[in-house]
């Protein structure tokens, strides 16, 4: 494979890159915090509106589906008009909608808010990943795993913080309002970020459609890898605790440990992803990650002993943590100068996997049982490894970095 001839980053350039990193990192951390809080408060919101899981799931699915076209458009808009405007604008809408959950009067209004919520979050997801991809290319350092670790850490902190506030009697509406205000503050800081302000892309040769990237074979393989990773992550987040508590009839503490261990492993693994890439390169790292995730899941399903199952979940989290940041890094190299559109392609297909995976597994569980259906997670891990192998033999130059 060809190695990128990176331009050394010294002096003022290094200082600018460092400042850009620390300005962008809170965006990832607060974005993760928002979703950690969202998962905890969803129960309170559904109780307030007296919703059963069926109508609530339908409303959430509608929001997810509505976000797809917005994510595709967001990448092209960010590349053309600058990431600062799109990041700040989507953060302002996201914070406003999240605060709006404190005052939902009806199911119909909830659906409207969920469409706006997932639309704004999808756009924000696209643009901050595009900014991180651009920074990585300019600084010649693997910063994407650190940004994604910030998201995972923020999600863990948000879930624990929201749970703690509810435990001491804080009204759930106040938590929605507080987090919404925090997202507004992050959006304002991104508006004044000079690095983001310089990201508008001047196109030559006329305007090109972002849809053409969906015809780029190597990029689509990377997007499918992202989709498999998100599918596996969605399965773990949705079904791992259900498997422990309902199928194996373990205690609530063990169930909670299963979810917590997975998320903490994702955060810790992303902090170590850079070292993995330095040692093995990005393609081999993806092959290793997919294979090890599959092995971890098979180990967890091969036993009913609590410590071994939790160890299996830990292995899955550590392995899976590397996939998304490496995939976004590869996409930035495959579509140079179009990081917004490349990020949109990966995020759109990734969200599809996140949406489809848990629902599909639920259907399989009705037929074959949850334990057998969870083998789908191991299949996703193997698919990541095989797709990475196809990239390796495709002949497309992939910098090792």
Tell me what the mean pLDDT of segment 223-240 comes to: 89
* Maximum Cα–Cα distance across the chain: 62
> Is the Cβ–Cβ distance between 162 and 175 less than 8 Å?
yes
Residues 6 or more apart whose Cβ sits within 8 Å of residue 146: 21, 25, 270, 271, 274
- Helix (H) / strand (E) element for 61: namely helix 53-81
Label residue 397 by pLDDT band (50, 70, 90).
low
What residue has token string 């791992």? 240
Kindly tell me if the per-residue pLDDT of 18 is higher than 50: yes
**pLDDT digit string, tens, across residues 69-93:** 888 788 778 777 778 888 899 999 9
Domains and CATH numbers, the chain: 18-199 (1.20.1250.20), 210-395 (1.20.1250.20)
* Alpha-carbon span 6 to 8, nearest angstrom: 6
What residue has token string 């890439």? 277
Tell me what the mean pLDDT of segment 130-136 comes to: 84
Residues 6 or more apart whose Cβ sits within 8 Å of residue 42: 56
Q: Which ranges of 104-143 does DSSP label H, i.e. alpha helix?
A: 107-139
* Alpha-carbon span 1 to 395, nearest angstrom: 9
Kindly tell me if the per-residue pLDDT of 358 is higher than 60: yes
* Alpha-carbon span 286 to 50, nearest angstrom: 44
Least confident among 7-16, 45-54, 236-245, 313-322: 7-16
The pLDDT value given to residue 142 = 72
More confident: 269 or 234: 269
Kindly tell me if the per-residue pLDDT of 364 is higher than 60: yes
**pLDDT digit string, tens, across residues 261-303:** 888 899 899 888 888 888 888 999 999 999 999 999 999 999 9
pTM, two decimals, is 0.77
Tell me what the mean pLDDT of segment 108-124 comes to: 92
């Amino acid at each position: 494979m060809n190695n990128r001839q990176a331009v050394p980053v010294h002096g003022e350039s290094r200082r600018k890159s460092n400042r850009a990193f620390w300005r962008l990192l809170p965006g990832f951390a607060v974005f993760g915090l928002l979703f950690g809080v969202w998962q905890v408060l969803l129960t309170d919101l559904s109780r307030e509106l007296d919703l059963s899981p069926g109508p609530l799931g339908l409303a959430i699915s509608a929001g997810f589906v509505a976000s797809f076209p917005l994510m595709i458009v967001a990448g092209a808009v960010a590349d053309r008009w600058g990431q600062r405007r799109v990041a700040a604008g989507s953060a302002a809408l996201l914070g406003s909608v999240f605060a709006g959950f404190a005052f939902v009067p009806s199911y119909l209004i909830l659906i409207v808010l969920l469409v706006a919520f997932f639309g704004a979050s999808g756009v924000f997801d696209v643009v901050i990943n595009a900014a991180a991809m651009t920074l990585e290319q300019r600084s010649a350092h693997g910063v994407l795993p650190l940004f994604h670790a910030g998201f995972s850490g923020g999600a863990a902190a948000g879930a624990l913080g929201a749970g703690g506030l509810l435990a001491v009697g804080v009204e759930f509406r106040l938590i929605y309002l507080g987090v919404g205000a925090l997202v507004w503050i992050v959006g304002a800081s991104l508006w004044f970020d000079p690095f983001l302000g310089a990201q508008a892309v001047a196109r030559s040769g006329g305007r090109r459609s972002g849809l053409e990237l969906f015809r780029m074979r190597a990029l689509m393989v990377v997007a499918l890898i992202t989709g498999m990773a998100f599918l596996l992550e969605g399965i773990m987040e949705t079904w791992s605790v259900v498997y422990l508590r309902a199928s194996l009839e373990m205690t609530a503490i063990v169930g909670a440990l299963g979810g917590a261990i997975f998320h903490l492993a994702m955060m810790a693994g992303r902090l170590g992803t850079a070292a993995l890439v330095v040692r093995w390169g990005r393609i081999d790292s993806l092959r290793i990650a997919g294979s090890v995730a599959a092995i971890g899941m098979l180990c967890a399903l091969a036993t009913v002993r609590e410590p071994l199952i939790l160890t299996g979940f830990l292995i899955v989290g550590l392995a899976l943590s590397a996939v998304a940041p490496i995939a976004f890094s590869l996409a930035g190299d495959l579509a140079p100068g179009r990081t917004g559109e490349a990020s949109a392609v990966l995020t759109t297909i990734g969200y599809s996997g996140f949406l489809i995976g848990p629902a599909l597994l639920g259907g399989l569980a009705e037929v074959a049982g949850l334990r057998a259906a969870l083998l789908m997670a191991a299949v996703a891990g193997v698919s990541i490894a095989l797709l990475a192998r196809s990239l390796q033999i495709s002949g497309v130059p992939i910098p090792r970095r």
